[in-house]
Structure 1
Amino acid sequence: MKKYNWSLIGTGVIANEMADALNVVNGQIYAVSAQNQAATQKFAQAKKITKVFTDPLEMINDPKTDVVYIATPHTFHYQYIKAALQAGKHVFCEKAITVNAQQFDEVQALAQKKNLILTEGFTLFHMPIYQKVQQLITAGKLGEIKLVQVNFGSLKDYNPQNRFFSKELAGGALLDIGGYATAFARLFLSQQPNNVLTTVKFFETGVDEQSGIILKNAQEQIAVISLSLRAKQPKRGVISGTKGYVEIENYPRATTAKITYTTDAHQQSSEILTSGNSADALKYEVQDMQRFMEQGHDDGQLALSHDVAHLLGSIRTAWGLKYPFE
């Protein structure tokens, strides 16, 4: 596989993990840029990164940069994605790729116009186990898919100053963890939901602390989602059909799926599917991104991100939640 000059914006926890994955899969990292220059220099040294830039835009416009990885707070994603695409660079951006559907539509159109790959960092789109589950569903072994249930709950420390609860930084459960749950739901629904029912509890800063969401599409498939930033939940997804159901634990980086077949009313049978390694989640992301760039298309992944972005927008509209910069 060809080696690419990846340039990273951000040096936080997920950027640290991505750098390790890049060094394994790609064998090198070209450049990095972040706000804290001392920390950025230290990061570059630890990850054997060739160049350090004080200005992310200068790094983006460096002719040697092939692909830009963005791991900043949500509010900066749009401007860096747009700048990178305009500079002719492929982009891999952490979720939420943009803070609203309008921003998403703009960068999606720009990527298509420039014939560039734009990918969102949903690990579940890259974990090998999902290919096996999709094959099972395509083969009709679960019958007609009727219902998807999915949870994601984090227990963040009570701190109104933290970015997770900052309205100015597009905080709240929906954009921080809700994208994963919504992406899981959309992955297993045959088409985009057009009906949203939801209720929310707001944190004192005005962002969503926890919520319940019901989605329904024209085929009357239903997804039920529960989210929280102040109550831990298992990261669990269930896909239910007329012939059985699939249970997937720790679904963002899942390696196992339990299938229960229910066609026999008197006796159920089950099987376990396994594939992949949770520790390799970001390696799978890098491998897929580089394959997308080589083949010139993303296997429909940006279209899924489009649907997720629009669902998140519809949910926020139902809540009446707007960020100060919108």
Structure 2
Amino acid sequence: MPDTEKNAPLDSAAAASAAFAAVESRPFPDDVFTAPELRWAVIGCGVIANQMATSLALAGRHLRGVANRTREKAVAFAEKHHVERVYDTAEDLYADPDVDAVYVTTPHNTHIRYLRGALAAGKHVLCEKSITLNSAELAEARALAAANGVVLMDATTILHMPLYRELRRRADAGEFGRMNLAQVSFGSYKEYGDLTNRFYNRGLAGGAMLDIGVYALSIMRLFMASQPEEVVSLGNLASTGVDEAGGIVCRNAEGQLGVISLTLHSKQPKRAVISFDRCYVEVTEYPRADAATIVWTADGHREAVRAGVEGYALCYEMADLERAVAGDARAAALIDTASDVMDLMTRLRADWGVTYPEEE
């Protein structure tokens, strides 16, 4: 097999399977779940729900319950992952006093409905990306969480991977100097053959922004001192009316720049380069990355940085929610970063004329 083929990035499902296979025989580390354990249930039985259940099993845990639009799928999911309870409806899940936290893994445009129900019932919620369709929905959900004394958390992996916590720690300590520029790309190749699939389907809140743009904007925002105020962009739309590709340039009050390229119809590297005065930090396959390279300005030497393990990505999400519930201010503040990203995504879609039926 040619080297280029052997070294080609895996698609997300294959990459997740490989990451799980790499850790399944290892002892689970004792520094992931450090807060009191919550009793978890999941809404939805798709790819992410299965990854979540697999992640918990690595830690010796199991989901308390599952709800799904199709009961037969929920039953099959419960049997596969040793889930204790199958609920006929999401409302039955909300009413269960033995459930503390809910992971919402359904399509983007259904999130707000489940957030309203779970938060109003006093459940903590971890919600898969994109956490809502737009800023107004997220503001509503945050207000509900505050009113009911529960934690709402965005499950975008970048917010939770230990690698970024370590890089941010070093950046905040002044080790890298001033942050000047983030250059971020993310491209996937999705066939035009079936425009009803979730990537291009307007009725399922498809498009590059909510599916992959959330990762690129999250890593950019994570290293910026403040939210970008100036945003210029161009977006190309698919025939279904959702965004297929986009080029974005942002600048905040500190003069820090972000340059982002997104596409659903061309392969691009998932690559982020964060440039500082004293170095640049390069991360490939960045959504669940556990390794980065620092290239130092003074002499060009390269420093490898590792933190966390890709295979535990969803465990880090759940662990952060448990920490926030226990009073960890850093974990609780992650929703502020998520809100900034949602504001940017909402603004960009408005500039491109991309709307969903729920917004009309």
Q: Which TM-score bucket, shorter chain as reference?
A: over 0.9
Runs of 4+ in 1 over 6 A off after TM superposition: none
1:3 shift after superposition: 3.4
Q: Deviations over 1:83-119 (max 9, x none)?
A: 1111011000000000010001111122122221111
Q: Which residue number corresponds to residue 195 of structure 1? A: 230
1:26 shift after superposition: 6.5
The 2-side partners of 1:164 and 1:320 are apart by: 17
Q: Write the letter of the residue equivalent to 2:315.
A: K
The 2-side partners of 1:296 and 1:134 are apart by: 17
Stretches of structure 1 that go unaligned for 5 or more consecutive residues are none
1:22 shift after superposition: 2.4
Contact 1:22 1:286 in 2 (8 A): no
1:10 shift after superposition: 0.4
Contact 1:25 1:287 in 2 (8 A): no
SS in 2 for 1:163: coil
Q: Which residue number corresponds to residue 7 of structure 2? A: none
1:270 shift after superposition: 2.2
Q: Write the letter of the residue equivalent to 2:42.
A: L
SS in 2 for 1:205: coil
Q: Which residue number corresponds to residue 216 of structure 1? A: 251
Q: Deviations over 1:280-325 (max 9, x none)?
A: 1112112222222222653410101110110101111111221122
Q: Write the letter of the residue equivalent to 1:98.
A: T
Q: Which of 133, 138, 141 is residue 107 of structure 1 equivalent to?
A: 141
Q: How does 1:1-326 map to 2 (within 5 A)?
A: 2-25=36-59, 27-158=61-192, 159-262=194-297, 264=298, 267-295=299-327, 297=329, 298-326=331-359
SS in 2 for 1:146: strand
Identity %: 40
Contact 2:66 2:78 in 1 (8 A): yes
Q: Write the letter of the residue equivalent to 2:109.
A: T
Query: Kindly tell me: are residues 26 and 198 of structure 1, through their superposed partners in 2, closer, same or farther at Cα, counting changes over 3 Å?
Result: farther
The 2-side partners of 1:288 and 1:205 are apart by: 37
The 2-side partners of 1:69 and 1:112 are apart by: 18
Contact 1:150 1:226 in 2 (8 A): yes
Q: Write the letter of the residue equivalent to 1:274.
A: R
1:269 shift after superposition: 2.1
SS in 2 for 1:214: strand
Query: Alignment length, in residue pairs?
Result: 323
Q: Write the letter of the residue equivalent to 2:310.
A: S
The 2-side partners of 1:220 and 1:318 are apart by: 22
The 2-side partners of 1:46 and 1:220 are apart by: 51
The 1-side partners of 2:136 and 2:236 are apart by: 25
Contact 1:4 1:26 in 2 (8 A): no
TM-score by length of 2: 0.87
Stretches of structure 2 that go unaligned for 5 or more consecutive residues are 1-34
